[in-house]
Chains A and B, each alone.
Chain A
Amino acid sequence: MGYGVRLLVWGEYACFTRPEMKAERVSYDVITPSAARGILESVHWKPAIRWVVDQIHVLNEIRFDTIRRNELGSKISANTIKSAIKGKKPMKLQVITMKEREQRMTMMLRKPSYLIEAHFELTAHAGETDTAEKHYNMFIRRARKGQCFHRPYLGCREFDAHFAYVEHDEAISESFYRDSPDIDLGWMLWDIDYSREMEPIFFRPVMRQGIIEVPDLLKKGGKQG
């Protein structure tokens, strides 16, 4: 835990889609640990490390907004691509939006802002040169400069995330829920265990004064992303 980092992330909108309501997307109330991990990974990640989210501070009030968009009903089928590559069947490798259109609602969060506290662990992939210190320094160097592999996002790619590194001695802005009673957020996706056929792992977070403690629920030998 000596190498913990704090990253402030914010944006205009966010949608951390509830898996049980994803046809017409409805966001969770707060960012999921898995989405927070994705943001950290977009700044720095190597197979040698695994990010573990420790705490999530919910800084702004939880508010929702809706938007309805024209979306597509189908995904690309691997088999049609295969036959197209082989040149056997007549090509039908396009989606005609007129036929596939579906109007779907998104219930998204508005003006979200979070402080993510996390650390990382070295994995079995770590080589001799992969020291915790090296990766820690790489992360903070990048985060301070605003560097990233790709622009991080808040649940969906159209909701871009801005981020800023919060130094250890830097004060954290106060949460909207600082003086609120505890809020039970219900069952929420924690993350997906990619080594167990994408087994989703759920947890039941409670927000205390705007802070959510996140346990590390990965089973032994499990791995993410």
Chain B
Amino acid sequence: MKNERTHQPITKRYDFTILFDVTNGNPNGDPDAGNLPRMDAETGHGIVTDVCLKRKIRNYIEIVKQGAPGYGIYVTEGAVLNEQHRQAYYALRGEDGAKAAKLEPKDKAEARELTQWMSDNFFDVRTFGAVMSTKVNCGQVRGPVQFTFARSIDPIFASEVTITRQAVTQEGQEKDREMGRKHVVPYGLYRMNGFVSAHLADKTNFTEEDLQLLWDAIVNMFEHDRSASRGEMTLRKLVIFEHQSGLGQAPAHQLFDRITVQKVHDRPARSYKDYQVSIERETLPEGITIIEK
């Protein structure tokens, strides 16, 4: 069962960096530390995990695509309303699938087919990969897009804010209000590096269209993730290094080193204006294009 996406997979390699900041919020709580913002215990730098950011990408796609064919989200957060629509879709085209299953009774081929079907139907499987428990090898699909841990430019300071509520949870309690705690980072600028592999895109059929959607999702991922705990989170910069070919033209670390973020004064930073971001564009290796979003 193929959906309408018939475009070709991307053919170029991309390395990218994002800068995002948080004001009076908790970007990513640490379950080991009572939901305090994640922190590198040794250096005090803030950390946001790869999976935390991937979750936001998935949520954005879900909102924008509303479960359109080919844009399902496999790992969802809550109830799924599109289930019924999709069911109808499968019922209509069910025959095709049944025929395909008979093509190759051998396990490896079938595993490939199952994987392909998942890639075709679910954006997150196509983009980030998935683990399928088939009988033949571990059946792990690596998606073309790789996220890493985001790290704050400077050590962060997490402050604990005690809040009160003018009501109690249970009846018959003597006090008339309760107190709670919030952990916030007054300000933190974070940086994450990521990668898009053309070679792996070929395997999951991650297209140019998907790539543009991914960039959109990155740019807008915080816009639809507002909550009391997050404070104000904003994507400040998305810098993409586009290589001419699938293999690439330059080592990623050298490209990432071209982006420097510096504080402009000695005081603790409290806004994005306290930082200066510069991108070294001179003497760019041949075949590299910088795209900023």
Q: Which residues of chain B (48-77) have a CB below 8 Å from chain A? A: 49-51, 72-77
Decide yes or no: A72 and B97 within 8 Å by CB, A13-B149, A78-B132, A105-B32 being known contacts. no
Decide yes or no: A67 and B253 within 8 Å by CB, A90-B87, A150-B200 being known contacts. no
Which one of A54-62, A81-89, A114-122, A213-221 is at the B interface? A81-89
Q: Which residues of chain B (1-34) have a CB below 8 Å from chain A? A: 1, 13, 15, 30-32
Q: Which residue of chain B lies nearest to A141 when distances are taken between CB atoms in the complex?
A: B247
Q: How many residues from B make CB contacts under 8 Å with A?
A: 71
**Across-interface contacts of A96 in B (CB, < 8 A):** 76-80
Which one of B111-119, B167-175, B176-184 is at the A interface? B111-119
CB distance from B77 to the nearest CB of A (A): 5
- Distance in angstroms between the alpha carbons of A96 and B251 in the assembled complex: 38
Q: Which residues of chain A (73-107) have a CB below 8 Å from chain B? A: 75-78, 81-82, 84-88, 90-91, 93-98, 103, 105
Q: How many residues from A make CB contacts under 8 Å with B?
A: 49
A146 touching B97, Cβ below 8 Å: no
Decide yes or no: A150 and B197 within 8 Å by CB, A67-B38, A68-B31, A162-B251 being known contacts. yes
Q: Which residues of chain B (90-110) have a CB below 8 Å from chain A? A: 90-94, 97-98, 100-101
CB distance from A204 to the nearest CB of B (A): 25
Q: Report which residue of A76, A81, A194 has the largest number of chain B beta carbons within 10 angstroms of its beta carbon.
A: A76
- Distance in angstroms between the alpha carbons of A142 and B251 in the assembled complex: 10
**Across-interface contacts of B98 in A (CB, < 8 A):** 85-87
CB distance from A52 to the nearest CB of B (A): 21
- Distance in angstroms between the alpha carbons of A76 and B131 in the assembled complex: 6
Q: Which residue of chain A lies nearest to B86 when distances are taken between CB atoms in the complex?
A: A91
Q: For the complex, is A131 an interface residue (Cβ under 8 Å from B)?
A: no
B132 touching A75, Cβ below 8 Å: yes
**Across-interface contacts of A153 in B (CB, < 8 A):** 146
CB distance from B81 to the nearest CB of A (A): 11
Q: A160 is contacted by which of B31, B74, B130, B193 (Cβ under 8 Å)?
A: B193
Q: For the complex, is A66 an interface residue (Cβ under 8 Å from B)?
A: yes
Q: Is the interface of B mostly helix, strand, loop or mixed?
A: mixed
A147 touching B247, Cβ below 8 Å: yes
CB distance from B28 to the nearest CB of A (A): 10
Q: For the complex, is A69 an interface residue (Cβ under 8 Å from B)?
A: yes
- Distance in angstroms between the alpha carbons of A62 and B203 in the assembled complex: 36
Q: Report which residue of A85, A90, A103 has the largest number of chain B beta carbons within 10 angstroms of its beta carbon.
A: A85
A78 touching B134, Cβ below 8 Å: yes
**Across-interface contacts of B149 in A (CB, < 8 A):** 12-13, 158-159
- Distance in angstroms between the alpha carbons of A103 and B72 in the assembled complex: 25
B118 touching A148, Cβ below 8 Å: no
Decide yes or no: A98 and B77 within 8 Å by CB, A66-B32, A147-B249 being known contacts. yes
- Distance in angstroms between the alpha carbons of A76 and B97 in the assembled complex: 18
- Distance in angstroms between the alpha carbons of A150 and B247 in the assembled complex: 8
Q: Which residue of chain A lies nearest to B132 when distances are taken between CB atoms in the complex?
A: A76
Q: For the complex, is B254 an interface residue (Cβ under 8 Å from A)?
A: yes
CB distance from A142 to the nearest CB of B (A): 6
**Across-interface contacts of A22 in B (CB, < 8 A):** none
Q: For the complex, is B270 an interface residue (Cβ under 8 Å from A)?
A: no
A-B contact pairs, 9 of them (CB 8 A): A12-B151, A70-B31, A85-B117, A86-B94, A93-B74, A95-B75, A96-B77, A150-B197, A153-B146
Which A residues fall within an 8 A CB radius of B? 12-13, 65-72, 75-78, 81-82, 84-88, 90-91, 93-98, 103, 105, 142, 145-151, 153, 157-160, 162-164, 194, 198
Going nearest first, the 3 A-B pairs with the smallest beta carbon separation are: A146-B251, A87-B94, A150-B197
